[in-house]
Amino acid sequence: MKKEHGRKKKEDLLAYIRNGKELTTGQKLILVTKLSAPAIMAQLTSIAMQYIDASMVGRMGANASAAIGLVASTTWLFGGICSSGAAGFSIQVAQYIGAKNYEKARGVLRQSLVAIFLFSVAMAALGGLVSAFLPAWLGGAKEIREEAMWYFVVYACALPAAGINRLAGSMLQCSGNMKVPSILNSCMCLLDVLFNALLIFPGGTVAVLGWELTIPGAGLGVIGAALGTALAQLVTAGLMLYFLCVRSAILSLHRGESCRMQADCIKRAVKISLPIAFEHCVVCGAMIMATKIVAPLGIIAIAANSFAVTAESLCYMPGYGIADAATTLTGQSVGAGRNRLAFSFGKITVSFGMLIMACSGMLMYFAAPFMIGILTPDTAVQALGIRILRIEAFAEPLYGASIVATGVLRGAGDTLVPSIMNLISMWAVRLPLSYFLAKQHGLTGVWTAMCIELCFRGCIFLVRIAGKKWLEKSAVPRHAEK
């Protein structure tokens, strides 16, 4: 009974945005918390499962970890570009829902399903073409190139499933349904671990209470890790589509509705998506260049860098959960023509993100030995990973500001200026500092440069939020200010 009352209260508060009703500060905080909590929990579950995933690969040795770490930034690039396409449509849907134009919202959804599938297939084909020479171009040692190549090939083939999964989850979230995507993404992580256990390691027998049990296993190593993730994404994408297209109260598709592309919808999606895709290219391209800076430092440095990135994600993933809530709240507020409410939600969510990530950064500093220790038994990798992880802890609050501010700005349709800000931050601050500091301090120099850049990025995003110019943007025609 209490659960039903809580769900009704959340729906009523979201309806306040669409219906022009005023919300008190307490109600805004409740709405931010209720929308953020499921997404934060899903992100934390995801990272917990990635820890287990990385730990499984780590047991195969530093070479296996380095092979995956070598192409990690490139997988983020391809995945991010596919996600940017989803954002181009989901932001439109959020604003149409805010304007209570549900028929238009469903029309955008139908077109997005076709467009994102075709786009992700094209990205998969591109990934297959570049996979053969990618590890060598990134500067990977010869002994890890083949495994790195096959890992990336399998990842690229799974991009259509990943793209549809991201699109469906974003659509549910922008309609205010944070719970279902959170649960399904958590289940995807569990499936990932299950499939990895079956595919990475060879089978064997274990004795339990005097009985010998046979445990199946394909023994595919690094390739098994990629296949496990791909299968988990495929299953989750199917479930996500079911809850979006069949069960959603606002966005479920009706029989007989056309999926024909409309020029205005596609143009708006491209206008929103291109800056986001550019931003991903800027950020991930910089990460790829950083990988080239790290690669000559040796396999220990590559492995430590990869594990530290996985460990740090435990701290910043809650920020992405809050950013998802911020996109929904600002998107619906702007769509309803309520700019003052959108700005208020922006301030609240950014402050909340900074607070959460300040706490997680402090936890990361003291728990670094444990966090790295469960990922690898290699003492040399552990020592270096702990050192660089503690450097990064000081950047977490301002990193949180930039993450959540990005969600706020995207909800309003402001995507071009943030992409330019990221370009300046990554390429004019991080990479030059990384290059010079790596010569003197190795991997610790690279992570010191990253810490400085993240603090700079957070500051410029806070200035952008305070300036309010982002409130002049809109992805779709909207009401006048209320």
| The pLDDT of residue 84 | 85
DSSP string, 71-121: HHHHHHHHHHHHHHHHHHHHHHHHHHHHTT-HHHHHHHHHHHHHHHHHHHH
| The pLDDT of residue 455 | 96
| The pLDDT of residue 48 | 62
| The pLDDT of residue 341 | 93
| The pLDDT of residue 283 | 80
What's 24's DSSP letter?
-
What global pTM score does this model have? 0.77
Q: Contacts by 469-473 with C-beta closer than 8 Å and gap 24+?
A: 469/414, 469/417, 470/408, 470/409, 470/412, 470/414, 470/417, 471/334, 471/339, 471/342, 471/343, 471/412, 473/334, 473/412, 473/413, 473/414
* Averaged pLDDT, groups of 10, the chain, 482 residues long: 42 76 88 82 63 68 78 81 86 89 91 93 94 87 87 92 91 88 86 86 62 70 87 94 92 78 87 86 81 86 86 84 90 89 94 94 93 85 93 94 94 90 92 92 94 96 92 64 40
Beta-carbon neighbour count of residue 435 at 10 Å? 16
Query: Largest Cα–Cα distance of the chain, in whole Å?
Result: 74
| The pLDDT of residue 16 | 83
Report yes or no: 211 and 68 within 8 Å, Cβ to Cβ. Answer: no
| The pLDDT of residue 261 | 78
| The pLDDT of residue 205 | 61
Give dist(CA 230, CA 200) in Å, integer. 13
| The pLDDT of residue 7 | 43
Chain centre to alpha carbon of residue 35: 17
Report yes or no: 303 and 65 within 8 Å, Cβ to Cβ. Answer: yes
Domain positions in the chain: 13-472
> CA dihedral in degrees (424, 427, 428, 429; nearest 10)?
100
